[in-house]
Amino acid sequence: MRTSEIIRNTNETKISLSLNIDGTGVSQINSGCGFLDHMLTLFARHGSFDLNVSCCGDTEVDYHHTVEDIGIALGQALNEALGDKRGITRYGFFVLPMDEVLMLCAIDISGRAHLGYQVEFDSPTIGDFDTELVKEFMLGFVRNCPMSLHFKEFSGENAHHLAEGMFKALGRALSIAVSIDERHKDEIPSTKGVL
């Protein structure tokens, strides 16, 4: 099984995270930020990833460090669980409809970090969660499991729906990208021979 456990302790956050990318979508999330808990639960369920996250962060300041550092830890866990990436499909995409939202997520687990982010939130907050932190999470994620990760909003109004569409689409697209291609299960999916 492709699994990883990450412990990340800084002066701002203390994180314990475990990931099984060959799981069933079971999760236990306690980040200290209710909205992020909701998003990570959706990500795990729609990606069929088993994910456990525990974080004690400086939420008395705001949620920035918690959100960014969990993105970093999740990227580290995914990168470790994938190993040399032998046999993975590598590419994945999903177009997710959610009420008025239509969200595209496309992924290339290329070994090169890039975030394409064509999403506009009309509201600066969702409850007490700053919507700009969605991008900070995704940046932390791709920088620590280098991939090209693109989001494109085709339609959307409600900020909660937009964020939810992104995390669900990420789970679905990533599930495809990390799946084993049985025709090439013993090969690195690159003409370079390395990712």
Domains in the chain with CATH codes: 3-184 (3.30.230.40)
Residue 79 has pLDDT above 90, yes or no: yes
For the segment 140-159, what is each residue's pLDDT rounded down to a tens digit?
999 999 999 999 999 999 99
The pLDDT score that the predictor gives to residue 193 is 86
DSSP single-letter state for residue 170: H
Read off the tokens for 172.
């679905």
The pLDDT score that the predictor gives to residue 161 is 98
Q: Quick one: CA dihedral 176, 103, 148, 128, positive or negative?
A: negative
For the segment 47-71, what is each residue's pLDDT rounded down to a tens digit?
999 999 999 999 999 999 999 999 9
- State the average pLDDT over residues 147-172: 98
The pLDDT score that the predictor gives to residue 119 is 98
For the segment 6-37, what is each residue's pLDDT rounded down to a tens digit?
999 999 999 999 999 999 999 999 999 999 99
Residue 78 has pLDDT above 90, yes or no: yes
**Contact, 13 vs 65, CB < 8 A?**
yes
DSSP single-letter state for residue 95: E
At a CB cut-off of 8 Å and minimum separation 6, what does 11 contact?
none
The pLDDT score that the predictor gives to residue 140 is 98
- Secondary structure (DSSP) of 57-92: E-TTT-SHHHHHHHHHHHHHHHHHHHTT-TTB--EE
Mean pLDDT of the chain: 97
- State the average pLDDT over residues 68-84: 98
